[in-house]
Chain A
């Protein structure tokens, strides 16, 4: 195939003639095959690795005005997280609590897990909602990464019932009060 017949031309072995070295025209293809397989491996691996990862998000479908109202959630099972600016989280327990606290994304896991444990310990067999309900309220100062982080946190902590709703003006004023209380006393109105 890739080899030429060179043996038949130089038949005279006698006569003291200087022998010219016959070189084979056959090329060693091994490195070429090596290279080809290397490239095959590269293409096989990179193209399958490139598939982007994603998080599945299921938003609630918009409600009709005549739909039955959603079940009431007992205040004791609710934990509200308000995603603030500069990667801060404000949180409070219950539905309307003036006791608002401040934390960040590294400590939020313990707070969620504590609340989850507390709620699960207090569950009665008659309860309709059998786990903690987390309400996530991103403020306009939070960013997309905050939202994904907190949704991811729900997956990590195995929280089944959570919802994302807009923040209310009352909560914003509670945060302002908290901020003011840190340094100067809140302004008298």
Chain B
């Protein structure tokens, strides 16, 4: 009578299924998430205790670099197409479809309208080497304040868009004042905006933990 054989099972688990799942997830995260959008210029933001998060969509970003040059950017490629269309129409810049596409893919513009065409002639990768003088801005609402035009058209294209200002800590106050007063104008209704800052510890919370604000 043959002994009943007890089948010896291996303790090694088949990892194939798990591997499949994990790579599926990995692919999902890699495709679904967006990397931090590239800045048109290097900016060191000042620190504040505020930990409010800036929205990632529907956002207009105004960047001020340490030399006081102002850059404008907006999220969403279709929105940017619509924006450059209306800018092109009202300023009569005569942009080609390829130049408009370059605008939609760019990481922000910092040139006056009269240089916009030659700037957008460049591929987005080459735009960094363009010597951008910054968007002209002042405290008036005349044609010399081109930032006002950019923001006003951007608000028309996307009325939901929020404004955020990303300024370098070393920017001199006159430029800041020009940008802020442009935003505070009644025609833009941009008096509520985000000032992008890096986070620093709140000295009040160190002593009394119960303080929640």
- A residues contacting B by CB (< 8 A) are 1-2, 26, 28-30, 32-33, 36-37, 39-40, 43-44, 47, 50-62, 83, 109, 138-149, 151-152, 155-156, 158, 166
Contacts and interface: CB of A to CB of B under 8 A. Distances in A.
B212 interface: no
Interface residues of B, number: 60
A144 B54 contact: no
Contacts of A55: 48, 50, 52, 194-195, 197
Interface in B134-181: 164-174, 176-177, 180-181
Given A40-B22, A43-B26, A83-B173, A54 B196 contact: yes
B173 A62 contact: no
B170 A145 contact: yes
Majority-rule SS of A interface residues? mixed
Contacts of A53: 48, 50-54, 196-199
Contacts of B213: 158
A72 B111 CA distance: 43
Contacts of B203: 109, 156
A113 to B, nearest CB: 11
Contacts, number: 162
26 contacts: A1-B16, A28-B12, A50-B35, A53-B54, A54-B52, A54-B53, A54-B195, A55-B197, A57-B193, A57-B194, A59-B192, A59-B193, A61-B189, A61-B191, A62-B185, A139-B173, A140-B172, A143-B173, A144-B64, A144-B168, A144-B171, A144-B176, A145-B46, A148-B169, A148-B195, A152-B49
A2 B15 CA distance: 10
A139 B176 CA distance: 11
Interface of B: 12, 14-16, 18-19, 22-23, 25-26, 29-30, 33-36, 46-54, 56, 64, 164-174, 176-177, 180-181, 183-186, 189, 191-199, 202-204, 213
B193 A52 contact: no
A58 B173 CA distance: 18
Contacts of A109: 203
A32 B196 contact: no
A55 B169 CA distance: 14
Contacts of A58: 191-192
A26 B15 CA distance: 10
B169 A144 contact: yes
A60 B29 CA distance: 42
